[in-house]
Structures are given as structure tokens and as C-alpha cells.
Amino acid sequence: MNWIVADWPWGIDFAVEKNRENGDTALFYRKSCFNRKNGDMGRLRQARLPSSIRSWGAGIGGSSFSMTVFTKGVAVSVEPVRWINNKLVIIDQTLLPALYKEMELNTAADVWEAIKVLRVRGAPAIGVCAAFGVVVGVREKAPQTIEEAHRAVNETAAFLATSRPTAVNLFWALDRMKAFAAACDASRLPAFLQAIEAEAVDICEEDKRRCRAIGEHGAALIQNGYGVLTHCNAGALATAAYGTALAVMFRAHELGKRFAVFADETRPLLQGARLTAWELQQAGIDVTLICDNMAAQVMREGRIQMVVVGADRIAANGDVANKIGTYGVATLAKAHGIPFYVAAPLSTFDLTLESGAEIPIELRDSEEVTHGFGKQTAPDGVKVYNPAFDVTPAEHIAGIITEQGILRRPFEESIESAMDRSNTTGG
């Protein structure tokens, strides 16, 4: 038997057995199983899998368990937003890495709250969640006619658009759902409801394909012996699956390249520490966690040869809005002569904005800074400024890794060309 083993932080120790005669696979939980409903550990379970082990699901604790398994020693990629049995299910990322918990979003208000408080986060994942959120909201309103269903689509989309202002994928997905509904020629209500559900599923599946393509294009940038710095989390947890910035690293690792990653902890909500370090560990990638204010020293010591981050919105001139602290990392990279790359699907580009100066920057609650994770770390009454994003100017960026390839300066031209190719090919 050929075993591929990965240890999950919540205690699942699994192995995959491949039948050499017929290609079937079996997945064995060798220690214990995680109950997603209550966080408890259960008894040994076993699940038989189809011949392809790249994507599978098995029942655990009464709910569905889904991950991506990469053979050749590359471990696991979770799917943070899924549509299962007509239900929208997300991973509550505010609890990771200490606790893995899934939750159903049964109302539009549930979806809005999950996006607002970062239970689901990352621009592509927010877009996917919002698309399914339209379906959830329409069903919640229980329309009796096609006309009522069209109105429900627009009302739900307008409501979800108020959840967060910066990640353009949110508005891209909502606009696409509205446009699809308006053009849908279904004459009967059940057919209309099935059609908008299928469109949301398409948005999710397209994001998975885009992330894979980003990984393929970006992996060539990583050379053996490189040190790669990343900020915040742009992995599978930030997308439908596989990630953007981390997709570059996952694919390079699959190709057998030897490199090390330095992950900024990413204050104030520690997405780099809680999520990126966790994902890279599960993939078996050499990862070192550093505080945000250590990046300059690590660069000065020669440990970093490239930087790769994700993006929440990219303007027509190539300016990039991403998690707060990204601009500082880009400035440090430029000072040290280190190439700084951004990885993002074309759905993250907003060509209605000429530059990053027009990108709205979300301001978040002061308690994220003064009472991080429930512990008071600042005096009562102190003033707090807490922008969630900053904008990195295009001149700091060596290239933008997209599903269409790596875009280079002048970005106005390369972005326009990539968008034209995407519109022509339909993806």
C-alpha cells in the first residue's frame, strides 16, 4: 500500500491507500475524527473514495467533510464556502486554528453577518459566498411569481453589498447574479430558482479554475533555495479553493521545488498567523512565522528573494488594495531590491477606478486593536485608527499573477489586454 499521510491540527490523522489494480482509493482516519457540530473528537472512521482523490467528501459527525488532497506529498486544501444539499455552508474562520467549525447560513442576514465579521474572508471567497447568498436570500423571501423572484434577487444583492466596501469581488459577484437573473428567460418559478442556483455554482467553480491557473503561472517565479514572504492570508481559505498567493507556493511545492516561506502575522486579526501558517503547515511547506515589524530585518539578512501577496481590489493603473500592512511590505521590498508580486484573478480588477486613490478603504471597529481576541491590550478611551486595507502603488509591483498569466508594467496596457482576452475566451 502507498500511504500519503497528513496530520490535521484538530487531531485527524489520515492516510490514503491506492489500489494499484483498479485505481480506487480509500481514506482512513487513523487516530480520531472531528465532529464539526460541536468540536468534539470521535471514533475511528473509514471512507471509500472514487478513483480520483483530488477532491472527495466523507460523512463525519453528521455533516459533510470536504478537502482537496494532493498526491505526491502535498497535503490539504479546505473549501471555505460550499453549497451542499441546497445549503450554504462555510468554515468559521474567526475560530481557526484552535477550532474547526462549520456553520450553515440560512438567511441573507446570516450571509451579511458572516462577511462583515470575517467568518468568511478573502476577496474571491467573499464573492462566492455573496453569489450563494443571493440564492439564500431569494429562497428566504419565498417568492410566488417570477416578478417577485426578480425583485428578491435585486433586494438581496443590494443588502449584501452593504456588508464590506473594499473587496470588489463582492460587487462583481452580486452584479453578475443580478445581470444573469435579468436575462434569464425561464417562464416558470422553479426553473428560475434552479437557474440562479446554477449560476452561483458556476461562479464558485470558475474561481477554483482561476486559482489553479494562477498557481501554474506563478510557480515559475519561485526558484530552489528562495525565501518567499507573504502577508495576510491568500490561500484556500480566501478563495473557493487553492488560493491566489498561496496557490503559487502550493504549485511550486507540488513541482518539487525547495523554498521557505516567511509569513507575517498580520495585525490586528492575525490572519497570517492563524490561517496562512496553518495552511502552509498542512501542505508540508517550510514556513516561519514573523511579527509584521520583523519583515525589514528578515529582508536585510538576505532571507527573502521575493514577496507574493493577494489583493482585494486592483485599479486600472495597477494600484493594489490589500490587507493593511501590504504597502509597508512593498516599500521595504523595493528598498531592498526584492521583487514584489500580487496574485489575483481578473474578477478582482476594477477598471472603473483609474487609480488606487479611488478605492474605498474600510474602517473597522476599534476593539479589534484594543481588545484583540477578547483581551484588553490598550487603556480605556484611547483613540484608535483601524483601516482594514492600504493601497500599494503600481510602481512598487514587479508583476500581477492572474489566470491569464503574469501582467507587467505598463499595467494600464497589460491589464486592458488581459481583460480583453478574458472577455473573448469567456474566462
Average pLDDT over residues 307-336: 98
Q: Is the pLDDT of residue 47 over 70?
A: no
Average pLDDT over residues 245-265: 98
Tell me whether residue 202 is one of the annotated catalytic residues: no
Query: By mean pLDDT, which of 27-31, 56-60, 421-425 is the weakest?
Result: 56-60
Can you give the three-state secondary structure of the chain, one letter per residue? CCCEEEECCCCCEEEEEECCCCCCEEEEECCCCECCCCCCECCCCEEEECCCCCEEEEEECCEEEEEEECCCCCCEEECCEEEECCEEEEECCCCCCCCCCEEEECCHHHHHHHHHCCCCCCHHHHHHHHHHHHHHHHHHHCCCCHHHHHHHHHHHHHHHCCCCCCCHHHHHHHHHHHHHHHHCCCCCHHHHHHHHHHHHHHHHHHHHHHHHHHHHHHHCCCCCCEEEEECCCCCHHHCCCCCCHHHHHHHHHHCCCCEEEEEECCCCCCHHHHHHHHHHHHCCCEEEEECHHHHHHHHHCCCCCEEEECCCEEECCCCEEEECCHHHHHHHHHHCCCCEEEECCHHHEECCCCCHHHCCCCECCCHHHHCHHHCCCCCCCCCCCCECEEEECHHHCCEEEECCEEECCCHHHHHHHHHHHHHHHCC
pTM score: 0.82
* 156-186 confidence digits (pLDDT tens): 999 999 999 998 999 999 999 999 999 999 9
Q: Is the pLDDT of residue 89 over 60?
A: yes
* 232-250 confidence digits (pLDDT tens): 999 999 999 999 999 999 9
Q: Which residues pair with 392 in a beta bridge?
A: 320
Residue among 264, 312, 319, 390 flagged as catalytic: 312
pLDDT at 425: 67
* 271-288 confidence digits (pLDDT tens): 999 999 999 998 999 999
Q: Which CATH superfamily is domain 81-211 in?
A: translation initiation factor eif-2b, domain 1 (1.20.120.420)
How far apart are alpha carbons 126 and 118 in whole angstroms? Answer: 9
pLDDT at 100: 87
- Just give the CATH number of 219-425: 3.40.50.10470
Q: Is the pLDDT of residue 140 over 50?
A: yes
pLDDT at 1: 21
Average pLDDT over residues 298-322: 98
Percent of the chain topping pLDDT 90: 78
Break the chain into its structural domains and give their ranges: 4-78, 81-211, 219-425
How far apart are alpha carbons 418 and 130 in whole angstroms? Answer: 25
